[in-house]
């Protein structure tokens, strides 16, 4: 039998390795930015074109590399941080100049220019598909600039699996935020298609959070600070009043590396137990410092999952630290039966000094005088006796007319008790309602074969969903102008997402006058919603986009219609009049698909007479 096992060429092996390291443009951004941080850069610039499909460029002012190091960095298993296997369990860095670069160079056009501080000239290397096309000496500033162009150009199947530009940009922004939040001592800039999205100067953790998520975030943060032998915890948690439906503002950092941990997330939720409404999630930005030897960061290719030596103790410490912070800053309710709240000094009077009251007495005051003047030096007040002539005249002659005249009660006409008409006309049997509302949740209606039970929330979602789809497709949304523009604050990433679906929102009736930085200004809204619903609709829309991540244009329109319908539909617990009930039933069965809600759950069920009769057997 002939030998069938053979060694793969390096460029093929690199392409296979790239499948683990590079899943999408955001993966390249993460690797290149972490390399810049390991190079001791104080300024990192990220330049993106077409959501990273055309260009991903990271420019840093770090230590740079020599000519030999620049060439070796693109070789497989090349690293500057590991000398032996034991070093894997005591890493204090992000990644390595090598390994990731070899994988990236196998599936893209890469151009790197680097110069160390002790050299006068820089080295420029151009690589296409693991093949070095050129290496030359050029003039460049200190640091490293790596440009990755035409990602997955030689693997069309992988390129076809990429999502829309809006979705890929969202993933890139997420990676940028994670790296920027972990390193407030480094300045970061991000540009997309020539527009600046982020400009983050050197700051502290709180200022960096506010710089990314907007100035309104500052009032939401509660500091957390706890130091033990096992772990040191610093950072912030969000106040319960500002909890969101999405998990977009939940960040764990272990030794300045972003991680995902459902176990630690459960500890945070446990600390907020009893403080949050249903289906909302707390915000947190927590930084954990542990001994590198007590964790294993190599259990996941992207190093976003970490294994701890003592997870149970870490869980208890984290939960207690968050609970302590919520109680210390009077966020969590505290019961103190010995304290009399009525004796508390209001905050506005804590710094004020007590003043003696001044009392002035007018010794000449006479309440029985016709006209009395108070102290003329202060202010003139006139007191007059009440004029009783007007009401006394009402009784003049009454006594003389009534005295001595007998009253014949038979001549007194009393109002008849007989009802000549009804305020509400009595309905005939044919006019009576055919629907009945049960527990302010279901509509019960009779049909020939039995009974129909409709979920009012799901039914209204279906009606609104089909109307919105028609408006977006035909661009026939009717708008109502607002008297005053409505200004809403979002994070920069959310504003970028709203801008990407702006056209579809305008087709439903929204009118945007400004969309800059972290502010969105709205001057018109759809006619069937109120101004107070706008924030809820957009928050729900952002949450749905983050969770479902649509790619095609049709998917965006469909998701938007579902999201707006979910936000504005009649809620469970809302009482409906008979007219509203019948109108909803008629609108539901006028839909193209009345049986299902937009999320494919049943909108109604039927119970036949046979089923009812079997219940009584």
DSSP 489-510: E--HHHHHHHHHTHHHHHHHT-
Paired strand residues for 128: 109, 131
Give the pLDDT confidence score for residue 41 in this predicted structure. Answer: 93
- Do 591 and 459 form a contact (C-beta atoms < 8 A)? no
Length of the chain: 617
188 vs 297, residue with greater confidence: 188
Collect all residues with Cβ–Cβ distance below 8 Å to 28 and sequence separation of at least 6. Answer: 22, 52, 56, 104, 108, 148, 151
Overall average pLDDT of the 421-431 stretch? 45
Give the pLDDT confidence score for residue 446 in this predicted structure. Answer: 85
Is pTM beyond 0.75? Reply is no
Convert 213-245 into a string of H (helix), E (strand) and C (coil): HCHHHHHHEEEEEEECCCCEEEEEEECHHHCEC
- Do 224 and 260 form a contact (C-beta atoms < 8 A)? no
Q: What angle do CA 144, 146, 149 make, to 5 degrees?
A: 170
Q: How confident is the model at residue 316 (pLDDT cuts 50, 70, 90)?
A: very high
Give the pLDDT confidence score for residue 74 in this predicted structure. Answer: 84
Percent of the chain with pLDDT over 90: 26
Whole-angstrom distance between the N-terminal and C-terminal Cα of the chain?
75
By CB atoms closer than 10 A (0-12, 13-18, 19+), residue 515 is middle
Q: What is the DSSP secondary structure assignment for residue 253, as one 8-state letter?
A: E
Does residue 75 register a pLDDT over 50?
Answer: yes
3-state secondary structure of 303: coil
Give the pLDDT confidence score for residue 428 in this predicted structure. Answer: 47
Does residue 616 register a pLDDT over 80?
Answer: yes
Q: Where in the chain is the domain with CATH 3.30.1370.100?
A: 442-605
- Do 443 and 454 form a contact (C-beta atoms < 8 A)? yes
Q: Which CATH architecture has domain 208-328?
A: 2-Layer Sandwich (3.30)
Overall average pLDDT of the 322-339 stretch? 71
Give the pLDDT confidence score for residue 422 in this predicted structure. Answer: 44
Rank 210-219, 348-357, 432-441 by mean pLDDT and report only the highest. 210-219
**Fold adopted by 10-200:** Heat Shock Protein 90 (3.30.565)
**Fold adopted by 442-605:** Ribosomal Protein S8; Chain: A, domain 1 (3.30.1370)
Does residue 388 register a pLDDT over 90?
Answer: no
Give the pairing of strands 55-60 and 43-49. antiparallel
Give the pLDDT confidence score for residue 544 in this predicted structure. Answer: 74
Give the pLDDT confidence score for residue 97 in this predicted structure. Answer: 43
Give the pLDDT confidence score for residue 29 in this predicted structure. Answer: 93
Overall average pLDDT of the 293-299 stretch? 72
Give the pLDDT confidence score for residue 427 in this predicted structure. Answer: 46
Burial 122-138 (b: 16+ CB within 10 A, else e): bbbbbbbbbeeeeeeee
Structure token digits, residue 285: 């930005």
Closest listed residue to residue 264, CA positions, set 296, 244, 287, 245 = 287
- Do 468 and 564 form a contact (C-beta atoms < 8 A)? yes
Structure token digits, residue 532: 């107070």
Q: Where in the chain is the domain with CATH 3.30.565.10?
A: 10-200
On average, the pLDDT of the chain sits at 80
Using the Cα atoms of residue 71, residue 73, residue 78 and residue 79 in order, give the sign of their dihedral: positive
**Range in 227-231, 329-333, 519-523 the model is least confident about:** 329-333
Give the pLDDT confidence score for residue 372 in this predicted structure. Answer: 46
Cα–Cα distances in Å, from 477 out to 99, 260, 467, 534, 549?
52, 41, 10, 16, 25
Does residue 222 register a pLDDT over 70?
Answer: yes
**Range in 249-263, 326-340, 354-368, 447-461 the model is least confident about:** 326-340
Overall average pLDDT of the 168-194 stretch? 92
User: How far, in Å, CA of 267 to CA of 252, rounded?
Assistant: 12
User: How far, in Å, CA of 492 to CA of 615, rounded?
Assistant: 58
Q: Where in the chain is the domain with CATH 3.30.230.10?
A: 208-328
Overall average pLDDT of the 173-184 stretch? 93
Does residue 303 register a pLDDT over 90?
Answer: no
Rank 216-220, 355-359, 410-414, 514-518 by mean pLDDT and report only the highest. 216-220
Cα–Cα distances in Å, from 596 out to 459, 548, 604?
8, 20, 8
443 vs 216, residue with greater confidence: 443
3-state secondary structure of 613: helix
Overall average pLDDT of the 5-14 stretch? 69
């Amino acid at each position: 039998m002939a030998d069938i096992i053979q060694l793969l060429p390096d460029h093929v092996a690199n392409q296979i390795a790239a499948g683990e390291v590079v899943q999408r443009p955001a993966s390249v951004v993460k690797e290149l930015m972490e390399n810049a941080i390991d190079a001791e850069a104080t300024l990192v610039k990220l330049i993106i074109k077409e959501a990273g499909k055309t260009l991903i460029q990271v420019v840093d002012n770090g230590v740079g590399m020599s000519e030999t190091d620049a060439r070796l960095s693109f070789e497989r298993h090349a690293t500057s941080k590991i000398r032996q296997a034991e070093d894997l369990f005591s890493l204090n860095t992000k990644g390595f100049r090598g390994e990731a670069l070899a994988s990236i160079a196998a599936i893209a056009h890469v151009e790197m220019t680097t110069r160390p501080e002790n050299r006068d000239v820089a080295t420029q290397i151009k690589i296409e598909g693991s093949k070095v096309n050129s290496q030359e000496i050029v003039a460049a500033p200190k640091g490293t600039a790596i440009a990755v162009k035409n990602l997955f150009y030689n693997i069309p199947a992988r390129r076809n699996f990429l999502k829309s530009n809006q979705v890929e940009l969202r993933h890139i922004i997420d990676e940028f935020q994670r790296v920027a939040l972990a390193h407030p001592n480094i300045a970061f800039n991000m540009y997309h298609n020539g527009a600046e999205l982020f400009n983050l100067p050197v700051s502290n953790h709180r200022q960096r959070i506010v710089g990314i998520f907007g100035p309104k975030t500052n009032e939401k943060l509660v500091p957390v600070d706890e130091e033990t032998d096992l772990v040191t915890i610093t950072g912030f948690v969000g106040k319960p009043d500002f909890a969101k439906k999405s998990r977009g503002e939940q960040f764990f950092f272990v030794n300045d590396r972003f991680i995902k941990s459902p176990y630690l997330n459960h500890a945070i939720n446990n600390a907020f137990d009893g403080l949050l409404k249903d289906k909302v999630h707390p915000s947190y930005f927590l930084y954990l410092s542990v001994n590198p030897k007590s964790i294993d960061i190599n259990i996941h290719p992207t190093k976003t999952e970490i294994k701890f030596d003592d997870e149970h103790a870490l869980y208890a410490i984290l939960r207690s630290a968050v609970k302590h912070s919520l109680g210390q800053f009077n966020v969590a309710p505290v019961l103190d039966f010995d304290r009399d709240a009525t004796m508390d000094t209001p905050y506005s009077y804590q710094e004020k000094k007590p003043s003696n009251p001044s009392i002035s007495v007018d010794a000449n005051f006479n309440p029985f005088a016709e006209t009395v003047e108070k102290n003329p030096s202060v202010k003139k007040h006139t007191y007059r006796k009440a004029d009783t002539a007007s009401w006394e005249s009402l009784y003049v002659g009454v006594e003389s007319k009534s005295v001595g005249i007998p009253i014949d009660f038979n001549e007194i006409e009393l109002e008849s008790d007989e009802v000549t008409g009804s305020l509400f006309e009595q309905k005939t049997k044919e006019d009576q309602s055919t629907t009945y509302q049960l527990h302010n949740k279901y509509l019960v209606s009779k049909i020939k074969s039995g009974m129909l039970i409709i979920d009012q929330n799901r039914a209204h979602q279906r009606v609104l969903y089909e109307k919105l789809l028609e408006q977006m497709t035909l661009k026939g949304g009717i708008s109502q102008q607002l008297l005053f523009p409505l200004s809403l604050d979002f994070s920069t990433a959310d504003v970028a997402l709203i801008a990407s679906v702006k056209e579809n929102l305008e087709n439903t009736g929204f009118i945007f006058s400004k969309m800059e930085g972290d502010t969105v200004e709205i001057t018109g809204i759809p006619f069937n919603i109120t101004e107070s619903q706008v924030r809820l609709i957009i928050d729900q829309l952002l949450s749905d986009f983050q969770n479902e991540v649509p790619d095609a244009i049709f998917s965006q329109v469909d998701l938007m219609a579902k999201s707006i319908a979910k936000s504005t539909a009649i809620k469970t617990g809302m009482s409906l009049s008979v007219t509203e009930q019948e109108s909803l039933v008629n609108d539901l069965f006028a839909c193209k698909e009345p049986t299902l809600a937009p999320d494919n759950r049943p909108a109604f069920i039927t119970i036949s007479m046979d089923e009812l009769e079997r219940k009584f057997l």
